[in-house]
Structure 1
Amino acid sequence: MRYLVIDDEPITHQIIAGYCRELDFMESVGNCYDGVQALNLLAKEPVDVLFLDVQMPKLGGFDLLRTLQQRPLVVIISAHREYALESYDFDVCDYLLKPFGMARFLKAVEKVRARLAPEPEAGAPEVPQTLVVKDDKTHHQVPLHEIHYIEACRNYCIVHLADRRLMTLEKISAMAEQLPDDAFVRIHRSYIVAVAAISAVRAGALQLGERELPVGRTYKANLIPFLKK
């Protein structure tokens, strides 16, 4: 991380340089003792973070920030508390009150590193691997690969598994929302089937092993993507 110290007090440069020598990822770009020197250097060198004093001759810290069209990240270093509120108008990462020790300096550095870290790429949404089915008194966590089809019967649903059935008062529309679209398909107002369980398709019906289920006219279009596969 490339840093620049801008402060009219040499001791501040020495302290920060000493702290940064302990950190392998910190690289000094230089030392400036007023805002004008900093402007000249920033025009030539890329910088990740400024350690910036507020009160300096020629051009103060806040005046420097107002001048810069593109600012590096900023950590204010000052012996005066009264500038803290104004400093956050410039979206600074931190405000170090002199004198500060290594621990407090490291905290400021970590804030800068967090701001410099790239945004994590948005991955594909996590696909559920189970369905929670609540019967009268028990919540069952059912692996999706065990579900053959779901059947709506009046005010309840039956989840047909490979070796058993579960009954739940949940509506079939609510259950459909919990299932991955690429593994289950609604074929009828009363049926959701697992694509992997379909053994044959014919006009108006599906075959799931020895069981035949009707395909509703308004749901036929749902099957087209799977038939094309």
Structure 2
Amino acid sequence: MMRYLIIDDEHMAHDIIKGYCDLLPNMQLLRNCYDALEAFEYLTTHQVDLIFLDLNMPKLKGFDFLKTLSNPPKVIVTTAYQEHALEGYELAIVDYLLKPFGFERFLKAINKAAGSTANLPAVNSKEDWTSTKTIFLRENKKYVQVALETIYYIEAAGNYTKILSTEGSITVREKFSDVLASLETEGILQVHKSFAVATKHIKSIEGNRIHIANTTIPIGKMYKMNVTRLMGG
């Protein structure tokens, strides 16, 4: 479960962010804060995983507030001011969303937060969602959260992409190359123009075939070198 806090002095911004989060699984709103001082007081007694932070607020500006936190959670900045982006990344924020932002851009930021291991809060909990990198993928009209370590392989299917994991198979309306790029992990290796495999789940390699998850995956000529390097050749 990703527990989040919204810090913004505009009620409409709270409604938009919560509306987007309600479309995703495992997102839990802990509190709506309308200034940084209210958020600071809440954080002294509560643990959160993610903050949506506005910058131009009364009493205490967003980045000034962030600098007061000794061990901040992950932060996604939501603002109408582009000029502060560099300072934000110097403070190790996850992403910088310029208002107004659409759901697709918002989802990209959430995927960054779910997959990032930097700047993690110290949490002593049996259920720590940050222990496994995940990504949200759209299947039909719903969004499915997939743990990267559970993926067996990815297969191109025209304008669609099939992802087989330990939890089953899902098909998303995205190009194979786009899905592959969004994973951003060394554990996924492209071995054919239409296939990429999770190296940790490979059972065996025989000739130009990879055996994984009771499936035989072909090795393309252009990708043979990738497999050779994997085997130490």
Give the TM-score range, shorter chain: 0.5 to 0.7
Higher RCO structure (Cα 8 Å, ≥6 apart): 2
Q: What is the TM-score when the length of structure 2 is the normalising length?
A: 0.51
The superposition leaves residues 74-98 of structure 1 with CA deviations (integer Å, 9 ceiling, x where unpaired) of 0000001101111001111100000
Structure 2 residue 12 is the aligned partner of structure 1 residue 11: yes
Which 4+ runs in 1 deviate beyond 4 A?
none
Q: Partner residue of 2:212?
A: none
Q: Partner residue of 2:161?
A: none
Aligned residues of 1:53 and 1:77 also touching (Cα < 8 A): yes
Compute the displacement of 1:55 (Å).
1.0
Could you say if the C-alpha distance between residues 83 and 17 of structure 1 is closer, same or farther in structure 2, counting changes exceeding 3 Å?
same
> How many residues of Structure 1 are paired with residues of Structure 2 in the alignment?
136
**CA distance in structure 2 between the aligned counterparts of 1:118 and 1:91, rounded to whole angstroms:** 20
Structure 2 residue 75 is the aligned partner of structure 1 residue 74: yes
For 1:76, what is the secondary structure of its paired residue?
strand
**CA distance in structure 2 between the aligned counterparts of 1:8 and 1:104, rounded to whole angstroms:** 22
User: Gaps spanning 5+ residues in structure 2: where?
Assistant: 117-129, 134-148, 150-186, 188-199, 208-231
Q: Partner residue of 2:95?
A: 94
Compute the displacement of 1:38 (Å).
0.4
Q: Flag the structure with larger Rg.
A: 1
Q: Partner residue of 1:61?
A: 62
Compute the displacement of 1:25 (Å).
1.0
Q: Partner residue of 2:29?
A: 28
**CA distance in structure 2 between the aligned counterparts of 1:7 and 1:118, rounded to whole angstroms:** 29
Q: Partner residue of 2:156?
A: none
Q: How does 1:175-190 map to 2 (within 5 A)?
A: none
For 1:28, what is the secondary structure of its paired residue?
strand
In structure 1, give the amino acid aligned to 2:53.
L
Aligned residues of 1:50 and 1:73 also touching (Cα < 8 A): yes
Q: Partner residue of 1:118?
A: 132
In structure 2, give the amino acid aligned to 1:81.
Q
Q: What is the TM-score when the length of structure 1 is the normalising length?
A: 0.52
The superposition leaves residues 54-109 of structure 1 with CA deviations (integer Å, 9 ceiling, x where unpaired) of 11111111111110011000000000110111100111110000001111111111
Aligned residues of 1:29 and 1:45 also touching (Cα < 8 A): no
**CA distance in structure 2 between the aligned counterparts of 1:114 and 1:15, rounded to whole angstroms:** 23
**CA distance in structure 2 between the aligned counterparts of 1:42 and 1:14, rounded to whole angstroms:** 21
**CA distance in structure 1 between the aligned counterparts of 2:38 and 2:10, rounded to whole angstroms:** 14
